[in-house]
Structure formats: C-alpha cells, structure tokens
Amino acid sequence: MTAPLKVAIGLGLTEFPFADATEFWRWVDLCEHGGIDSLWQTDRIVSATPILECLATMAALAGRTRRLKFGVNVVSLAMRDPVLLAKQCATIDMLSEGRLLPGFGIGSPRAPEWDSLHLDTTTRGRVTDEALEILALLWTGQPVTYAGRHFKLTNAQIAPKPTQPNLPIWIGGASEAAIRRTARYGTGWQAGAETPEQLAQIVAAIRAATAAAGRTIDEDHYGAAFPFRFGTPDDPGIARAKAAYAKRTGANPDQYFAIGTAETILARIAAYIEAGAQKFILRPIGHDGAEIARQTRLLIDHVLPEAARRWPKPKRRK
C-alpha cells in the first residue's frame, strides 16, 4: 500500500516588496489565518534592494504567529559563525514552540557577499560541512569539543536546547557535493530553481547516496520551489523575473514559472509530487505588497482547498 502523502504548501520571499512593516504584518496575518503551512526567507546580507535579514525575521515571526512554521531557504553557512547560529536557531525554535525549519547550504557563488566581505569561496564547501557537524552536536545540549580545519571548540555548550528533539536540517543545493552533504548530514532536501525533471534526478541520487551511507530521509522531506502568478505572461514584472532567472541559471523560465490559473499551479505541484517532492515553497510574483497579498489570497482561496482534496493528509493517530 502506498503511504499517504504529506503535502504542505508554504510561501517564500526574496525581496521585501511591502511599503512598511504594517503592510508586511498584514500579509503575515493573512498567511497565518489562511492556512499557509510555512513562510520562507532568503539569506542575503549585502544588498541595495530591501531584503530582510533571515534570522531576525524568523525571531519576529516566532513572536507574531502561533501556527505558521518558518524557515530560511537557505542559510549560507560559510558566511556565519556556527556557534552563534546554533544558539540563534535553538532560541527561535524554543520561543516558537518548535516551529523552526532551518535550511542550510554553501551559498550561491554569484552572491555579492563573497566580494563585498572578502570571503573565500574556495573553502565554502569544507566550512559548511564542519558547521553542519557543529550545529548537530551543539543542539544535543552537551559540551562540544571539536577540532576541525576551520573551527575549533573546547567544551562549548548552549542552552536552552531546541524544542524539537531532532531539529531538522534541510540541505539546499543540486551539485554532487550537495547530494553527498544531504546524504551525510541532512534530514531533508530543499530544491532551488530545479524543474520537476531535474528534481527527480536529484531526489533519486540523494536516495541512493543515503542508502549507501546507511541512512534514510523521510519520503515527505523533499521540497520543491517555484514562482507563481494568477494572470498572464504579459503581466507587469513577469518579463523581468523571467530574465533574471534565465541569467542566473541559463535555463528556460517557461519550464519553471507557473503563470495562469489555479489549475496551472496545481498541475505544477502535481508534476513535482510525481518527481518526489511533498513540501513546497511557492513564490508569489508581484510588483508591490498589495499585489503580493492579492496573489496570496488567490492561492489561499483557489489552490489550498483543491490541494487538500487531491492530496489529503493522513489522519492523526489519537
């Protein structure tokens, strides 16, 4: 018998499109009360475009909401101190009563931080691997002594521990190194700009690598992400968004963006489910906060109910 799916639909933002904090919180409240599963923030430290700092945003969401989960897609570990990050994540998870979904990766080589902060891109993979080891060790609450090439700790300990007994470690990235990293450290994998066809290949590779490593990742811990819009390809901002995607990936945006009706978006979700994903970060396309809110309301009204009908969640055991 096929196990029931655990499809969950969250929303993600990169830029801050809202006029002010009031408009942002109005959108968060819409997501909280409308049944959105989770909110995801991009990690960007250096930017002329308004982008919220991800950990501070997670902490603020912990205080504002009571149901929503939230995460970062993904934290660039090579840009952050792992002990401070472990403490931040543990604090946010405790104060939110276990709603943090931390995701980690090495960071895009095209990110502006490398040049602006004079960071070494050649060591970011090894730094990330050591940081992942340190995070997992510190979250046990036990003293940690660690001697790596890039980090050294002696009896380092943090408290309180995360509320979640095994705080999830979602890994991002599609390279062979990212697949090995997921198989070794991850409890889940979150896609970036992969199409359903690309995602299927990566999920298969991760499953093979985890089996070889003597580990498993839950079937519902593979995530997909894509931009969506209720409208037409001629709507304002679509051409700019597609051009940016094509420049960043060298791929055809028509195979990635879901622009049209509720059925267009549901069909794209179905394609990713067929490829192996069950968790989703959908990115609304809009030129300002009001349009982001409108797109979100349409998703809540027309996609979430049909998704719940097509992919009902398993009943909780009493």
Q: Can you give the pLDDT of all 318 residues of the chain as single tens digits?
A: 456 789 999 999 989 999 999 999 999 999 999 999 999 999 999 999 999 999 999 999 999 999 999 999 999 999 999 999 999 999 999 999 999 999 999 987 778 899 999 999 999 999 999 999 999 999 999 999 999 999 999 999 999 999 999 899 999 999 999 999 999 999 999 999 899 999 999 999 999 999 999 999 999 999 999 999 999 999 888 988 888 888 777 788 888 999 999 999 999 999 999 999 999 999 999 999 999 999 999 999 999 999 999 999 877 655
Q: What secondary structure letter does DSSP report for 254?
A: G
Burial classification of residue 304, based on how many CB atoms lie within 10 Å of its CB (0-12 exposed, 13-18 middle, 19 or more buried): middle
CATH number attached to the domain at 8-310: 3.20.20.30
Q: Which residues pair with 100 in a beta bridge?
A: 70
Query: Beta strands 100-101 and 152-156: pairing type?
Result: unpaired
> What is the four-CA torsion angle of 295, 312, 32, 199, rounded to 10 degrees?
-60
Dist. CA 180–CA 64, nearest whole Å = 37
Beta strand extents in the chain (DSSP E only): 8-13, 38-41, 69-72, 75-76, 100-101, 103-105, 144-147, 152-156, 170-172, 188-190, 222-230, 258-260, 279-284
- pTM score above 0.85: yes
